[in-house]
Amino acid sequence: MFNKILIANRGEIAVRVIRACREMGIAAVAIYSEADRTALHVRLADEAYLIGPPPSAQSYLNVDRIIEAAKTAGAKAIHPGYGFLSENPEFALRCEQERLVFIGPSSQAIRAMGGKTAGRSLAAKAGVPVVPGTTRELSDQEVLQAVKEIGLPVVIKAIAGGGGKGMRIVSTEADLAGAIRAARSEASSSFGNPAVYVERYLGGARHIEMQILADGKGHVVYLGERECSLQRRHQKVVEESPSPFVDADLRSRMGEAAVKLAKAAAYTNAGTMEFLVDSGRNFYFLELNARLQVEHPVTEMVTGLDLVKEQIRIAAGEPISVRQDDIRLRGHAIECRIYAEDPFNNFMPSPGKIHTLRNPSGPGVRVDSGIYEGCEVPIYYDPIVSKLVAWGRDRDEAIRRMRRALAEYVILGVKTSIPFHRRILSDPQVLAGEIHTQFLESWLAKGMAEAKGNLAEIALVAGALYLHTKKPSGRGSAGQGGPAESPWKLAARQEAVRRR
């Protein structure tokens, strides 16, 4: 077992890995940018090393500085977390060359499955249904040609990374050029790789993923599914396990397909097979996330496994601690991603200082957080500040506990998505589990339209009340004396003019 591990990440996921290391008696080494000098993961680690300026390209994506920090600290392994370099085969290869254990799949396995197009190609060869699309990196001209062959609508998707970054849905030819530029730009800034491919866009489907673990002894297991259909701009915002839509037969078929693919790719460590599932319970492979997922806590809550500890043990050459027959899904878990964003201002990032923080607690509640009272939320990185997880004996209890926890959660100093989560978890369709990948976007659009209508009514009433309470000038409407005109008539006249 390792005596020291460097965590090549920041925020709540770095804190999560540090805690697993501490429970295993392993020293944890943090890295940080100049913007993260006082971050929680830096404070909790046993050692911490500055690796560069705030921009990711000069810090958390700086391979040379990360390797240097690991060697200086005497760490024998590197945990990449999620995002940044977690699915970068060149980084994994560099770790192997420097005799540092990469806590994740091998560089060969990442190339085989971590790259979205390579994974699709391997899945097709293995007989697993895939969404129609291309299987290699494309130039801009090749993207245009592929769209003609596949037909609109399509999704332009980054080959590297995940988390909804570098993805653009295209419904018309007029939007295609701009979508290509935007997808490449976002992919380059987030993952250091502008490569994209094309995939047919399947509307009305569910996004359901299957968690797997694979060790170096030939054992592969699936740990049940996660429902991830509540998404905004391809970014998951609420996840749960198990899915309210998946039955035992579909779970078994998807799990067996995931295991089959992992074995075909000689995959090791933790990974997630992502699928689109239509209303007839037909599933289509999307991609493999060759890393730990943001939403891994819901799987931990229903299986009782610690996925980070399993990752570390597998990387150290140990077998998975369970076999397929040992795995039982107990109860239901739901996760809300809490972002430092203003949900009432188009989810604009809300960096700043946390003045007040009160975390929820009580039965079945877990908070994976990267913040503390008095800390700064920088503007340079993904605005996620914590993950709130609730467990219950069934879905209804899990949702009720989540709503109670959201009501207890207080973060002052920055805007957060907490009010948004409270509203979405009160929606009748969400409560009934009747969701799909486009549900949240249409729900938000409807909510914005209603809000604008309400604001117009409020403004009209406010104007009328203002005129009603204003002292009369003693002159008529023509300014020649006489009684003042009714403020209600004035407000009505103003509204009529406004609507012309």
- Whether residue 261 has pLDDT greater than 80: yes
Give the Å distances, CA to CA, from 12 to 17, 82, 388, 459, 466: 9, 11, 11, 42, 48
Checking if the pLDDT of 478 tops 90, the result is no
Provide the residue type at 62 as one letter: N
Contact 62, 52 (CB under 8 A): yes
> Domain 4-103 classified CATH 3.50.50.60?
no
> Per-residue pLDDT for 475 more than 50?
no
**Mean pLDDT along residues 254-268:** 95
Judged against a pLDDT cut of 70, whether residue 283 lies above it is answered with: yes
Separation CA 85–CA 8 (nearest Å): 8
Average pLDDT score over residue span 279-308 = 95
Q: Is 105 helix (H, G, I), strand (E, B) or coil?
A: coil
Q: For 114-166, how does the pLDDT look when each residue is reduced to its tens digit (9 = 90+)?
A: 667 888 888 999 999 998 898 888 999 999 999 999 999 999 998 876 667 88
Q: Which residues are catalytic?
A: 291
Higher pLDDT, 174 or 487: 174
Chain centre to alpha carbon of residue 103: 21
Considering the chain, what percentage of its residues have pLDDT values greater than 70?
88
The answer on pLDDT for 477 being more than 50 is no
Taking the C-alpha atoms of residue 292 and residue 424, their distance in angstroms, rounded to an integer, is: 26
Question: pLDDT digits over 351-368, tens only?
Answer: 999 999 999 999 999 999
pLDDT at 471 over 60: no
**pTM of whole model > 0.75?**
yes
Compute φ and ψ for 412, nearest 5 degrees. Answer: -115, 145
Domain ranges in the chain are: 4-103, 132-200, 206-445, 448-499
Predicted local distance difference test score (pLDDT) of residue 190: 82
pLDDT band, residue 481 (cuts 50/70/90): very low
Dump pLDDT digits (tens) for 175-209: 999 999 999 999 988 888 899 999 988 888 999 99
Query: Worst-scoring range by mean pLDDT, 180-194, 207-221, 357-371, 381-395?
Result: 180-194
Mean pLDDT of the chain: 90
Topology of 206-445 in CATH?
D-amino Acid Aminotransferase; Chain A, domain 1 (3.30.470)
**Among 4-8, 185-189, 211-215, the least confident range:** 185-189
The CATH code for residues 132-200 is 3.30.1490.20
